[in-house]
Chains A and B, each alone.
Chain A
Amino acid sequence: MEKPPPEKSGSFSGHNVESHPPESEAEGELEDRENAKESSSISDSALPQVSQDIDGFLSHLSLHDDKSNPPDVPDSVEVFCKLVEAMIGNYDSGDSSARFGQVPEEDTAFVESVGRISKLMNALRGFPVESPAAAMYGRSGSVLQRAMSFLEDELRTLLEDSRSHISDSKSLKTKHPSFNSKEDHDRCPLPESESTGDDEYPAYPPEVVASMKKIAMAMISAGYETECCQVFSILRRNAFKEAINKLGFDSISIDDVQKMHWETLEGEIAKWIKVVKHCSLILFPGERRFAESVFEDYPEIFSSQFSNLARATVIHFLNFAEAVAMTKRSAEKLFKFLDMYESLRDLVPAISSPTSDDNGHELKSETMTAGSRLGEAAVSIFCDLENSIKSDVSKTPVPSGAVHPLTRYTMNYLKYACEYKDTLEEVFQQHQKIERTDEAGSDVDERSSQNNSRLPVKQTPFATQLIAVMDLLDSNLDTKSKLYKDMSLRYIFLMNNGRYILQKIKGSSEIHEVMGDTWCRRRSSDLRQYHKNYQRETWSKVLQCLRDEGLQVNGKVNKPVLKERFKTFNTLFDEIHKTQSTWVVSDEQLQSELRVSISAVMIPAYRSFLARFSQYLDSGRQTEKYVKYQPDDIETSIDELFDGNPTSMTRKRT
C-alpha cells in the first residue's frame, strides 16, 4: 500500500470540508477531474489513518443506542468522504494508468473504503434531522451512490469492452494484456491470434475477471445487487446474442418455417445444429465458469444469472425446434429430426442449473418437451415406413427378377436409420404408448410372441418396429413374386431380394444386432430353399432327358427315342439359356453359387449321357445334328446365365 506518491502532490486541506454534495453526478465528475491528480497521492498516505479513525467511530456508534441524542461527528468522516470521492475522481481522470483494474491493491483499498462508507451511512441513519450526524448520513449516502454508480459503469465497461471477444471467432483465444491500459482499445483492431478460434470459450483475462468479482462484491454488499445483476445480465445476453448470430443462427418465425422448402429448411437446420452444439460444448460451460468466478461468493446470484441467460438464449433454439417438428412429416426428414433431437438432448446437461432453481428446472423441462416433440415426429415418420411399404402395390414386376426398388429403398433407409439406433431406441421408448395404440402394434406383439424361440433378443420397441417393417417387406415381396408367371424367375426374384436384404443386414452391425443371428440364419435357409426350388423348377425337366429309363428296349438302345431325347435336351437347354441369360443376379456370389450348382448337376449328367449314348448315333452328320453341345459348351453356356444380357435376339419371357 505504501507507495511513493505518483506525479504531482497536492494538499488535502485546500478542500472545503463544508462543501455541499454536488448537485448532480455530472458536476461531481467535473470537480473530481480537476482535483483528481492532487488528491490521488493523498489517498495513499492518508487513507490507512483515516480508515482507522472511521472504524473507531463506527464501533463508537454501535454502542450508541439513543437516536434522539446525536453523537459528535469527527472531522475524519468528512475527510474520509473526500478521500473516497478523490479516489473515484482519480479513477475517472482519464489517465489510463489510473483506471480501475490497473493496480489491484488500490482497487482493494477503494472497495474496502466503499464498504466503510456503506457501514457509516447505515450507522448514521435515524438521528434528528438538524443534527450533524443526520447531515453526514446524507453526505455518506451521496458518496456511496457515486461510488456505486462509478462501479456500475466500470463493470459495464469491463463487460462491454471485451464484447467483440465472444462474437469474433478470430480473437477468441486472444488475451488482452493491455486490457485496461488503453482508453480506446475497443476501437483498436484486435491482436492477432494463433488459435483456430471456434472451439474455445472467449474468456475474459483473469485479471479482468478478478476486477469484476471485486466490483460485484462491493455492489452486492452495499445493497446494490439489482444494479449489478442488471448490468451483468444485459451485457452477457448481448454477447450471447451476437455470438449466436455470428455463428449463423437467426430466428425464423414458425409461420415461415412451415412454408419453407425442405432444401432451404435443411440448411437452417444445419446452422441450428452447429449453434446448439457450440453452445452445449463451449459457450455454456465457459459462461458457467465465468459467472461462477464473478459471483463466487454468491452461489444463488450466480445460479439465477446463469439460468436466466440460458433461458433467454435457449428459448430461441426451442422455438425453431418446435417449428421444425410441426412441419409436414416425410421420410427424408427423419435423420435431420434425429440430429436435432440429439442436439437438444446434449444441451440439457449444459444448461442444467447448478442449484435447483425453478427457472432452470423449467428450462430443462421445456428443452425436453421440444426434444420429445422431435422424437415423436421421428417415431411417426419411421412408423410411416410401414405405410409406404403397404401402399407399394404396383402390378408390374421388375424385369429380369432383379432387386426391387422398394427393397433397395427400404433397406438403405433402415441401414441409415440404424446408424441412429440408440437414439431411435430412446425415442421409441419415450413414445411407446403412442405406438401401442396403433393396430400394427398388436400384430407385432402376436407375431413376436409366437416366434419367441426365433427371437431370443430382447424386444425393444424399436426392434419390434424394425422387425415389423422387415416382415412387412417380406410379405410385400412375396406378393410381388407372384406377379411372375415363370416359377423359376419367381425364385430368382425372391433369391435376389432375399440376398440383398441379408447382405445389407450383415453389412451393418447395427441392424444385425437388432435383427439377431437367428433371424439371419432363418433367412439364409429360406434362400437355400428358393435355390433348391429354382433348381427343381428349371433343371429337373432337362435332367429327365438325360436319364437312362426308356431308352433301352430289351437291352437295345432305341435310336428314335434317343434322337428325340437329344432334340428335346437341345431345345430345352437353348430355351433356358436364351431366357435365363437375360435374368439378373447382381450379387456376384449368388450368381456364381447358382452357376456352380447348376454345373455340378448338369455337366456330370450330360457328360455321362454323352459317353454312354453318343456312340449309337452315326458319326458324322447325325452326331453333328443331335449332339449340339460338348460338355464344355454346356459349362460355357451356364456361365452366361443371370448376366442380364440377351445373348440371342429372342426376347426374354417372364
Chain B
Amino acid sequence: MPATEYQGSFLGRISIRRNQIASMDGNHEQDLEDLEIFQKHVADRFSDLLSASDATADASVDPLLSIAWLRKLLDVFLCCEAEFKALVFMGRDPSHIARPPLDRLIPELLERVVKALDVCNAVTHGVESVRHWHKLAEIAVTALEQRPIGEGQVRRAKKALSSLVASMTVEDKESINSKATERAWSFGRRGSKDRIAGQFRSLSWTVSKSWSAAKQIQLMLGNIAAPRGAESTGLASPVFVMSIVLSFVTWTLVAAIPCQERSGLPTHFPIPRQLPWAQSIIGLQDRIGEDWKKKEKKGSAGLLEEMQKMEKLGQSLIEFADSFHFPAEPERVEEVAAQVTELAETCRKMEEGLGPLQQQIREVFHRMVRSRGEMLDILDQAGKVSSPIM
C-alpha cells in the first residue's frame, strides 16, 4: 500500500519547512499547498478502498467490509491522522491554534475523538462475539470435513451451526432492541432456552448501560459543518477533513461489527457532494449505507463480509443436515464439500485476521488517546500564552 510511502515524504516536507520558517503565522501559500497535498492523500487512500467494492471478481482485492479491508481502513485512518497532526500542529506556534475558529473547532474534534474511543471499545467487545461464532463454524468444518460423513458428524455440525445462526440473531436482536430477547431455540438437550441465550450476553459486555453506538455516531456527525469562504483555505479545512474521516471510520466499524445498540445508525453524512477529496468517501458511504438499510430489514448481525458468508453457509448447511440420511448421495456430498471448503476458508480468514484486527483497533484507540493529550497540551499552552502569569 502506497499510503505509508508518501506519508514519510509528507511529514518530512512539513517538518523541514516548519523548521526553516519560524514565523508565527506560518506561510499562507505553503499552508495552502500542504492542505492540497493532504486532501489529495485522503482522496487517493479512500479511492483504493473504494475500488474494492467494484472489483468483486478480482481475487487479489479484499472485498468491501472484509476483515482485511477493515484493517486497510484502519491503516488509512492512522496515516490520515498523522498527516493531520503534522499539518495543523507540527512546529506551529500554539497561539495560532487558540484563535477563532480553531479555538472552537479543535475542542469539537476532541469531543468526537472521545466518542470514537467508546466506539472502539464497543467494537472490540463485538469482535469477541465474532470470535465465538468463528469457533462454532470451526466445529462445523471439522465435523463435515470427515469422510465419510456420518450421522454423528452431521449432528455435531448442525448443533454448532444452529447455535451460530441463532446467536447471531440474538446478538443482533439484543443490540437492536437493547433489552434481552429470549429467543426460542434449543441448544443442548437439557438446555433451557433462555439459559443458553443468556450465555452469549457476557460476550457483548456493555460499554455502559444506556450507551448506544448509533447515538454516538449521530452526535459525532451532529455539529460537523464544512468550512465556508475564507475558512475553507485555512486550518478549519483539515479539521473538517479529519472529522469526516474519523466519523466515517467509526461509523463503518459499527456497521460491520456487532456492537451495542445500533438502531438508528445514520446512513447519511453531511459532506458537500462537490468536494473533490471526498468523492471516494461519499461513494463508500453510499454503498455501505445501502447495505446497512438492507441489513436492518433482514436482521442479520453485521455487514462484516466473513460474517455474512458464515451466516449464509451456515443456513445452507443446516438445511443439508436436516435432510441427511446415511450414507449421503455423492452429489450432495460434493455440493456440501464445496460449501465446507468455503466455510473453512472464511474460518481461516477469521483465524488470521480477527486478532490483528482487534489489536489494530486498540492501536487506533491508543493513538487517539495520545493525540488528544498532545492537542490538549497545545491548547493548554496556547491558553497560558494568551493569559500569561505575572
Contact residues of A with B, CB < 8 Å?
21, 24-26, 29, 92, 121, 125-126, 129, 134, 137-146, 148-150, 152-153, 156-157, 160, 223, 226-227, 229-230, 234-235, 237-238, 241, 250-256, 258, 312, 315-316, 319, 322, 326, 358, 362, 366, 369, 373, 390-391, 393
Contacts and interface: CB of A to CB of B under 8 A. Distances in A.
Given A142-B150, A149-B189, A326-B114, 9 more contacts: A25-B155, A134-B148, A138-B150, A146-B152, A235-B199, A241-B202, A253-B121, A253-B211, A393-B389
Contact of B152 (A121, A229, A252, A255): A121
A234 B151 contact: no
Interface of B: 114-115, 117-118, 121, 124, 128, 132, 135-136, 138-139, 142, 146-148, 150-153, 155-156, 159-160, 188-191, 195, 198-203, 205-209, 211, 216, 326-327, 355, 359, 362, 365-366, 369, 372-373, 389-390
Contact of A237 (B138, B159, B203, B206): B203
B86 to A, nearest CB: 19
A141 B151 contact: yes
B326 to A, nearest CB: 4
A138 B216 contact: no
B115 A255 contact: yes
A129 B184 CA distance: 38
7 contacts: A21-B151, A141-B150, A234-B203, A238-B199, A253-B207, A255-B114, A366-B362
Contacts of A326: 114, 369, 372-373
Contact of B205 (A126, A160, A241): A241
A234 B209 contact: no
Q: Which of A148, A149, A223, A393 has the most CB of B within 10 A?
A: A149
Contacts of B148: 125-126, 129, 134, 137-138
A150 B200 CA distance: 20
Contact of B199 (A121, A145, A234): A234
The 8 closest A-B pairs by CB, nearest first: A141-B152, A145-B152, A141-B150, A138-B150, A153-B188, A142-B151, A142-B152, A138-B326
A148 B157 CA distance: 13
Contacts of A256: 208
Contacts, number: 130
A366 B198 CA distance: 29
A362 B359 contact: yes
Contact of A153 (B191, B206, B390): B191
Contacts of B366: 369
Given A230-B132, A391-B389, A319 B121 contact: yes
A587 B36 CA distance: 69
A183 to B, nearest CB: 10
Contact of A149 (B188, B199, B326, B389): B188
A230 B202 contact: no
B203 A226 contact: no
Contact of A254 (B117, B138, B139, B142): B117
B135 A145 contact: no
B118 A254 contact: yes
Contacts of A312: 128, 202, 205
B189 to A, nearest CB: 6
A223 B276 CA distance: 56
Q: Which of A24, A140, A144, A234 has the most CB of B within 10 A?
A: A234
Contacts of B390: 393
A255 to B, nearest CB: 5
A144 B152 contact: yes
Contacts of B372: 326
Contacts of B139: 226-227
Given A230-B135, A253-B118, A237 B202 contact: yes
A150 B159 CA distance: 13
A84 to B, nearest CB: 12
Nearest to A137: B150
Nearest to B163: A230
A477 B118 CA distance: 46
B191 to A, nearest CB: 6
B207 A251 contact: yes
B136 A230 contact: yes
Contacts of A254: 114, 117-118, 121
B369 A322 contact: yes
B205 A145 contact: no
B211 to A, nearest CB: 5
Nearest to B372: A326
Contacts of B200: 234
Nearest to A231: B199
Nearest to A141: B152
Contacts of B136: 230
A143 B155 CA distance: 11
A150 B155 CA distance: 13
Nearest to A135: B326
Contacts of B362: 366
